[in-house]
Amino acid sequence: MIVLENVTKVFQSKKGKIEAVKDVSLHVKKGEIHGVIGYSGAGKSTLIRCVNLLEKPSSGKVYINGEELTSFTPNQLREKRTNIGMIFQGFNLLKTATVYDNIAIPLKLIGISNEEVKNRVNKYLDIVGLSDKHNAYPGQLSGGQKQRVAIARALSQEPEILLSDEATSALDPETTDSILDLLLKINEELGITILLITHEMNVIQKICDYVYVMENGEIVEHGSAIDLFTKPNKETTKKFLNTIAQRKLTPSLVNQLKLSGSVTRLTFVGESTGQPLLSLVSKQFNVKPNILTANIIELKNGIVGNLVIHLVGDQDEVKAAQQFLKDHGVGLEELEG
Ligand SMILES: Nc1ncnc2c1ncn2[C@@H]1O[C@H](COP(=O)(O)OP(=O)(O)OP(=O)(O)O)[C@@H](O)[C@H]1O
């Protein structure tokens, strides 16, 4: 379990103070995968580095499994850090060491016996699917394979928590998917709690239970992945959603369509996905629903359907039809031109 309480990080630079992280609180429950998404410069890297105190917060507290990390001496911290693995965008492997040694050396440094080192390297290379690469050097591996070695190295210290700093950002979409599948597998099979940062909405979509949207050092919106995908509030969140599913119509088209009715985004989740609601609407009300765009987004914990419809009819009938949809659990957002 990870808890951040009012964490702020201020850097002093030649140009003055930079508040990279401002009063951030978050709570990652044991066994869950939480993601922080934001644009470049939002403060994500600084935030995740505050979790294992690679960056010392200027103020605020960090708790891991109920213990306040921010109160520990450097020696205590070194010991506690073995419970927090970390993976990075650039993999951070030793180029001159074999895959075996990349995993073995850090284990030897924390005093693990040679036999146990061997067992762990075998076990975790097997889990990440690289049992045949013990003697390879990083330069002989693809990006995805390098990240697998880095994941095996992080897991070999048998942490309860894994921090992922843009781990898939340097990878192509297919390799990204395979690394995300691996993260899901280690979360499910080893029960490891994961906190990740990313600027890619598909990472959030595929593996996160809970999401924080970060902007200018602050968490501007947060919620379960399903809530964020169905009821986004902030412009930044909506922009990120637009990157995975076309949700936007041109303002001139919206204005033109609104002359004869409403232009409404409907979000279906849970039970509402299984009902023929649009056909009921056209039977029960004097309106004609025309579908303008449609897509389905598969999240870790469910499926969200998005439809943008043009409801043609007079105002009262359109309003009654919208209320009917709302009453049946459909999310509604009136689009403006
Ligand atoms: N060591 C540092 N000294 C001074 N300023 C820093 C330092 N590290 C980060 N910053 C500043 O803090 C802000 C947040 O940076 P950070 O790297 O945390 O953002 P980010 O969301 O991870 O962006 P990116 O994805 O581009 O790394 C930026 O304005 C950055 O310039």
Whether the per-residue pLDDT at 248 is higher than 80: the answer is no
Whether the per-residue pLDDT at 133 is higher than 80: the answer is yes
- Average of per-residue pLDDT across 272-278: 74
Question: Mean pLDDT over all residues of the chain?
Answer: 93
The confidence score (pLDDT) of residue 17 equals: 93
CA of 82 to the centre of ligand 1 (A): 25
- Do the Cβ atoms of 48 and 56 come closer than 8 Å? no
- Average of per-residue pLDDT across 200-229: 96
- Do the Cβ atoms of 6 and 60 come closer than 8 Å? yes
SS3 194: strand
Residue nearest to atom 24 of ligand 1 (CA): 40
- Do the Cβ atoms of 267 and 305 come closer than 8 Å? yes
Lowest mean pLDDT among 34-48, 95-109, 204-218, 270-284: 270-284
- Average of per-residue pLDDT across 266-282: 80
Proportion of the chain in helix, strand, coil states, percent, rounded to 5: 40, 30, 30
- Give the phi and the psi of residue 21 in degrees, each rounded to 5: -130, 130
Is ligand 1 within 6 A of the CB of residue 35?
A: no
Q: How confident is the model at residue 271 (pLDDT cuts 50, 70, 90)?
A: low
> What 8-state DSSP symbol labels residue 197?
E
The confidence score (pLDDT) of residue 337 equals: 73
CA torsion sign for 207, 164, 168, 103 is negative
Q: How far apart are CA 105 and CA 152, in angstroms?
A: 13
Q: How far apart are CA 243 and CA 226, in angstroms?
A: 16
Whether the per-residue pLDDT at 275 is higher than 80: the answer is no
**Fold classification of 2-242 (topology level):** Rossmann fold (3.40.50)
Is ligand 1 within 6 A of the CB of residue 13?
A: yes
Question: 59-64 and 161-165: which strand pairing?
Answer: unpaired
Q: How far apart are CA 332 and CA 267, in angstroms?
A: 7
- Average of per-residue pLDDT across 231-236: 91
Whether the per-residue pLDDT at 247 is higher than 70: the answer is no
Q: What residues does CATH 3.40.50.300 cover in the chain?
A: 2-242
Angstrom CA distances, 18 to 46, 220, 318, stand at: 12, 18, 50
Residue nearest to atom 16 of ligand 1 (CA): 43
Residue nearest to atom 17 of ligand 1 (CA): 45
Per-position DSSP letters for 47-67, written without gaps between them? HHHHHTTSS--SEEEEEETTE
Q: How far apart are CA 264 and CA 308, in angstroms?
A: 6
> What 8-state DSSP symbol labels residue 90?
T
Q: How confident is the model at residue 274 (pLDDT cuts 50, 70, 90)?
A: low
Residue nearest to atom 14 of ligand 1 (CA): 43
Q: What residues does CATH 3.30.70.260 cover in the chain?
A: 251-334
The confidence score (pLDDT) of residue 99 equals: 98
- Average of per-residue pLDDT across 93-108: 97
CA of 42 to the centre of ligand 1 (A): 7
**Span 147-165, pLDDT tens digits:** 999 999 999 999 999 999 9
CA of 46 to the centre of ligand 1 (A): 6
Is ligand 1 within 6 A of the CB of residue 45?
A: yes
The confidence score (pLDDT) of residue 333 equals: 87
- Rg over alpha carbons for the chain, rounded to the nearest Å, is 24
**Fold classification of 251-334 (topology level):** Alpha-Beta Plaits (3.30.70)
| ipTM confidence | 0.97
Angstrom CA distances, 207 to 188, 194, 295, stand at: 11, 10, 19
The confidence score (pLDDT) of residue 296 equals: 86
The confidence score (pLDDT) of residue 246 equals: 64
Give the total residue count for the chain: 337
**Span 106-123, pLDDT tens digits:** 999 999 999 999 999 999
The confidence score (pLDDT) of residue 295 equals: 85
Is ligand 1 within 6 A of the CB of residue 42?
A: yes
Residue nearest to atom 10 of ligand 1 (CA): 20
Indicate the Cα dihedral angle 280, 281, 282, 287, nearest 10°. 170
Q: How far apart are CA 110 and CA 153, in angstroms?
A: 13
- Average of per-residue pLDDT across 298-322: 91
- Average of per-residue pLDDT across 217-232: 94
- Average of per-residue pLDDT across 284-289: 93
Lowest mean pLDDT among 59-63, 285-289, 296-300, 333-337: 333-337
Q: Which residues face 8 on adjacent strands?
A: 59
Is ligand 1 within 6 A of the CB of residue 20?
A: yes
Q: How far apart are CA 207 and CA 73, in angstroms?
A: 35
